[in-house]
Amino acid sequence: MTEISEARCPICKEENNCGNLARLPAGACWCSKETFPQAVFERIPPELAGKACVCQACLYKLKHESIEESGGNK
């Protein structure tokens, strides 16, 4: 069974630095200014979906991979 922690990224298991967990005001978290390609959600194990935020490092890595796969047109 995969361990679930709101403070850990469901992809890499590192700290996700979630602004909501840190009780930042709504919209102040880094993620509120980002777009998340479908590839991010496809990498989250089903049992962890909706349980914790993805970290910035995984988001940027998967965004970069998505751009490369599309031929750099995103």
What confidence tens digit (pLDDT) does each residue in 8-58 have? Answer: 999 999 999 999 888 999 889 999 989 999 989 999 999 999 999 999 999
From 17, 37, 41, select the one nearest 29 (Cα to Cα).
17
Q: Is the separation of the CB atoms in 21 and 8 below 8 Å? A: no
Q: Is the separation of the CB atoms in 67 and 74 below 8 Å? A: yes
Alpha helices in the chain (DSSP H): 38-43, 56-69
- pLDDT-derived band of residue 66, with 50, 70 and 90 as boundaries? confident
Q: Give the pLDDT of residue 69.
A: 77
